[in-house]
């Protein structure tokens, strides 16, 4: 049930992210002291993810595995008028308190942040530029860009679609048909580990291949199998 006194609920989906999650939650404590609700929605971690987070979040949930399912479960018990979906390996911008103040008075219905990657390889700067240009032009965000949305609008949109991949793209497309997003210019910082582990060029091709496949109608379950394979 929504509480008028709670402006924002942050929902963090996790799966075996104990160390990353602990760092993420410590960074959010200043916001919690200002009344922001923090909810962890875990998909059945085996690394002590939930136990290590005791006292650092307002709610620690264990639910069915699947990022969309986890975020929906977290949102269903959230109290805030706004919802922010945050990955455990992503850090909110330094001006997050100014962004929070903006939420209390803005007329926007939803939005997302620009993106930076924490790696130092020069080619990552080009990736950032392309991601930010694409998301600005298409008004479609990736999960790393921390989509935020009024709770009432999220509920009216039917929550995230229960698909295995591209749930963030699907929801963005639904929301952009209703209202223009607020794109916060101070970026979030997300981990570049995926790019560096699999190789930058290989990951670029993979991501664009997945988006193209989704655009032409390949099922999210097949795309997810390819992504995790």
Query: How many other CB atoms are found less than 10 A from the CB of residue 104?
Result: 10
- pLDDT of res. 227: 65
- 110, 153 Cβ separation under 8 angstroms: yes
Residues in the chain, total: 229
Query: How many other CB atoms are found less than 10 A from the CB of residue 207?
Result: 16
Q: Which of 156, 145, 25, 16 is nearest to 85 (CA)?
A: 145
**Domains of the chain, with CATH numbers?**
8-192 (3.90.550.10)
Query: How many other CB atoms are found less than 10 A from the CB of residue 219?
Result: 13
Task: Report the alpha-carbon distance of residue 169 to residue 159 in Å, rounded.
Answer: 13
Task: Report the alpha-carbon distance of residue 83 to residue 146 in Å, rounded.
Answer: 10
pLDDT averaged over 10-residue windows placed end to end, the chain, 229 residues: 79 92 95 97 89 90 94 97 96 95 91 94 89 95 95 97 90 96 96 73 66 67 64
- pLDDT of res. 1: 44
Task: Report the alpha-carbon distance of residue 64 to residue 112 in Å, rounded.
Answer: 26
Handedness of CA 63, 181, 57, 75 (dihedral sign): negative
Task: Report the alpha-carbon distance of residue 143 to residue 90 in Å, rounded.
Answer: 10
φ/ψ of 164, rounded to 5, equals: -80, -15
- pLDDT of res. 41: 96
| Residue ranges with strand state E in 98-220 | 110-117, 148-150, 182-190
Enter the tokens of residue 220.
């999210």
- pLDDT of res. 117: 94
171 Cβ contact partners less than 8 Å away, ≥ 6 residues apart: 147, 157, 160, 161
- pLDDT of res. 137: 96
- 68, 167 Cβ separation under 8 angstroms: yes
């Amino acid at each position: 049930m929504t509480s008028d006194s709670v402006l924002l609920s942050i929902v963090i989906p996790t799966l075996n992210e104990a160390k990353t999650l602990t760092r993420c939650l410590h960074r959010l404590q200043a916001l919690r002291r200002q009344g922001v609700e923090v909810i962890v929605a875990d998909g059945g971690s085996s690394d002590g993810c939930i136990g290590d987070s005791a006292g650092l979040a307002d709610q620690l949930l264990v639910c069915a595995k699947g990022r969309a399912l986890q975020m929906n479960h977290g949102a269903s018990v959230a109290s805030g008028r706004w919802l922010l979906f945050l990955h455990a390996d992503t850090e909110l911008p330094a001006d997050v308190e100014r962004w929070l103040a903006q939420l209390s008075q803005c007329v926007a219905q939803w939005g997302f942040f620009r993106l930076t990657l924490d790696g130092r390889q020069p080619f990552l700067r080009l990736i950032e530029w392309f991601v930010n240009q694409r998301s600005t032009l298409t008004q479609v965000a990736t999960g790393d860009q921390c989509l935020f949305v009024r709770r009432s609008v999220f509920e009216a949109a039917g929550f995230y679609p229960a698909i295995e991949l591209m749930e963030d793209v699907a929801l963005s497309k639904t929301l952009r048909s209703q209202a223009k997003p607020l794109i916060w210019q101070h970026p979030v910082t997300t981990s570049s580990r995926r790019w560096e582990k699999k190789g930058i060029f290989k990951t670029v091709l993979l991501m664009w291949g997945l988006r193209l496949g989704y655009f032409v109608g390949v099922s999210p379950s097949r795309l997810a199998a390819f992504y995790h394979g």
